[in-house]
Structure 1
Amino acid sequence: MKVPVSVIRLPRGPNGTSRGFDPSSPRYQALSPMSISTVGPGKEGHLEQEQQGRVALRERYLHSLLAMVGHLVHFTLYERVNVSALFDASDIDILNFQVSDLQTPLGVHREALLRCSDIIAYTFEL
């Protein structure tokens, strides 16, 4: 029999809206639009090609997220922790995954939120 485990609520993020990002963090700086240089001779063609590549990769990733909904997903986390859960949704920034029936080494969580920064890899079957 699976043992239910209580959910731990995390404190609010630094901006008070519970999103939890820090504008001075290296990740935020790398993802900001200002980090992409659009000025310079000969960079227009290269920039357009890079943007098209990013668009294609983003679309494929979003389609894979849609395909995961309702499926059992196996997550590999840091420290060799492997967990499984039914994938439900992702937030708009794809920083967190909302899952249900999370099976951990300590027990089963009915609902949980996984931070994408803690996930090394995940797999699922179609």
Structure 2
Amino acid sequence: MADPIPVPVGILRLPRGPDSSGSRGFDRHRHRDRSRERSRDLAAVQGARAELRARFLRLLGRARGKRSRFCLWNGLRVLADFGAADVQSGAFQVDSLRTPLGVQASALLRSGDVLEFSFPLE
């Protein structure tokens, strides 16, 4: 049996790293400046997310007993009295859920099924 023909392999050439004098290659100071900018950006994003979460939790606290409209991913819109929300497991507890099939005294709506919810003006 003959030896297989070797398949040519391309060579990947990487840029040279910095030498000891720092005259060529990567600029060390530029990298530090970028990492500082990134950390400031991440801190700003984290602060904004914390503020949005706090606003959402205040909304959930004030919503107890209010008439709510839920729009589900399948396009169904239902009305209910908002009860509570379990943010960790992602469920909304509602009372007097009005569906096309009738009224349920109480129910749990999975947040994965809910596209949006609102509190219509009465």
Q: Is the 8 A contact 1:71 1:125 kept in 2?
A: no
Return 5+ residue gaps in structure 2 as ranges.
1-33
Q: Is the 8 A contact 1:77 1:120 kept in 2?
A: yes
Return 5+ residue gaps in structure 1 as ranges.
1-39
Cα distance in 1 for partners of 2:87, 2:45 equals 23
Aligned residue runs from structure 1 range 1-126, under 5 A: 41-42=35-36, 43-93=38-88, 95-125=90-120
**Following TM superposition, by how much is the alpha carbon of 1:67 offset from its aligned partner in structure 2, in angstroms?**
2.0
Query: Which of 1 and 2 has greater Rg?
Result: 2
Cα distance in 2 for partners of 1:89, 1:102 equals 13
- Give CA deviations for 1:10-68 in whole Å, capped at 9, x if unaligned: xxxxxxxxxxxxxxxxxxxxxxxxxxxxxx82222111101110011111111111121
> What CA RMSD, in Å, does the superposition of the two structures yield over aligned residues?
1.7
- Identity of aligned pairs, percent? 37
Q: Is the 8 A contact 2:69 2:120 kept in 1?
A: no
**TM-score normalised by length of structure 1:** 0.63
Moved over 4 A (4+): none
Which protein has greater RCO, CA pairs closer than 8 Å, 6+ apart? 1
Q: Which residue of 1 aligns with 2:12?
A: none
**TM-score normalised by length of structure 2:** 0.65
